[in-house]
Amino acid sequence: MPEELARRLGTTDAVVVGLSAMIGAGVFAAFAPAAAAAGEWLLLSLALAAVVAYCNATSSARLAARYPESGGAYVYGRRRLGPLWGYLAGWGFTVGKTASCAAMALTFGAYALPELERPLAIAAVAALTLLNLFGVRRSTGVARVIVAFVLAVLAVVIVAGLFGDDRTTFFTYSSMPAPPSDAWGVAQAAGLLFFAFAGYARIATLGEEVRDPARTIPRAVGIALGITLAVYALVALAALRALKPESLARSGAPLADVVREAGFGWLAPLTGAGAAVAALGALLALLLGVSRTVLAMARERDLPGVLAVVDPARQTPRRAELAVGCAVIVLLLVADLREAIGFSSFGVLVYYAIANASALTLTRDEGAPPRVIPVLGLALCLVLAVTLPLTSVVAGLAVFAVGTVIYLVRRRRTMRA
């Protein structure tokens, strides 16, 4: 029986981890490409993303309460669908989110000090990995400060956008915009917005460190998702009021442009600081989540067993955390991944599709959600996956093909041994 992690996180701690992952740097950038895809129907795309998020969160929360272990959908897939499906969920999450860690670190460096972007990114990964080695409670303490600052910055943006100079169109439409002519664009925008707040899985991946998981995890997921959706809806309304959809789509820094167009240009640097801190918070949550999935996969020997060791003093997966931190730093040294992690988006949707499929197998006695929720979640995950840009879909399929080959080779060697 592998040594378990200490259960030190309460509801507030779990909510903070979820918020730091969901209200990350994505909120400062996601609305521009989403507006380019959906145009005037940006809010419809946000609503669709919210439905997908709700279904995925509900399925994940019910499964996490049933299986309060590190690993998230990797564990659920293994328990409910079989080893291969669990492996694919864990593989997609680990590879994709490791690349996302590198991209988020670069985002932090770019906002903090562009001329030292890469050294700052490496330093951020090293510092947060070191922080995680001292225990999850210290990590969540830092996350609280980060979340509080980012929410304060977003509150400034929302107030400026909703109550600043009325220069544009959203609240002055004489009628509702015409029905969307491009449903594909609306779905694609929903996919982009979904990835900006799809961090509630981080709560589930920490299931082994949460007190009273059957009660705490569903509550924490619901609270974190509710707060995030409210914040995103208000940000979208503020952005559409301060900027036309066309201007929003062309913006390189949409929230900074919101405060400028609303007559508060002197606040624009604050949004840059908010984006840098948000990137740091998202990076912290990602490192925590990926290391716990690595721990779970190592326990099942889908990754080297040496990574399954839990530090007896601090009761943290020290080797898994170090391995993830080192992998991210190596990626930062050899590649610029901001334009090359489309497969991460594809992998997240596959991850949640497997979570929804796993939830479909739960019985009423096991805490099954209403059947329509995992069915709708599974269907929408697949729809959003195929509407992603072609390069993202192709890269995602290639990553999963490589993972499948590795799984089959390892399984054959195990059977021969």
Superfamily name with CATH number, domain 11-416: Amino acid/polyamine transporter I (1.20.1740.10)
Q: What is the mean pLDDT of residues 336-342?
A: 60
Give residue 169's pLDDT band: very low, low, confident or very high (50, 70, 90).
very low
- Residue 206, beta-bridge partner list: 70
Token pair 């895809």 is found at 37
User: Which of 85-99, 100-114, 358-372 shows the lowest mean pLDDT across its residues?
Assistant: 100-114
Give residue 83's pLDDT band: very low, low, confident or very high (50, 70, 90).
very high
Higher-pLDDT residue of 321, 136: 321
Q: What is the pLDDT of residues 255-282, one digit of tens each?
A: 888 888 888 888 888 888 888 888 888 8
pTM attached to this predicted model: 0.79
Give residue 220's pLDDT band: very low, low, confident or very high (50, 70, 90).
confident
User: Which of 131-140, 170-179, 190-199, 322-331 shows the lowest mean pLDDT across its residues?
Assistant: 170-179
Could you write out the DSSP letters of every residue in 311-335? -TTT-S-HHHHHHHHHHHHHHHHH-
Instruction: Kindly list the domain boundaries of the chain, sorted by start residue.
Output: 11-416
Whether 106 and 337 have beta carbons less than 8 Å apart is answered as yes
Average confidence score pLDDT of the chain: 82
Give the whole-angstrom CA distance, residue 281 versus residue 228: 14
Q: What is the mean pLDDT of residues 107-136?
A: 86
Give the whole-angstrom CA distance, residue 67 versus residue 62: 9
Q: What is the mean pLDDT of residues 179-195?
A: 75
- φ, ψ at 24 (rounded to 5°): -105, -155
User: Which of 40-54, 72-86, 146-160, 251-265 shows the lowest mean pLDDT across its residues?
Assistant: 251-265
Give residue 325's pLDDT band: very low, low, confident or very high (50, 70, 90).
very high
The secondary structure of 63-129, three-state, reads HHHHCCCECCHHHHHHHHCCHHHHHHHHHHHHHHHHHHHHHHHHHHHHHHCHHHHHHHHHHHHHHHH
User: Which of 2-16, 181-195, 232-246, 254-268 shows the lowest mean pLDDT across its residues?
Assistant: 2-16
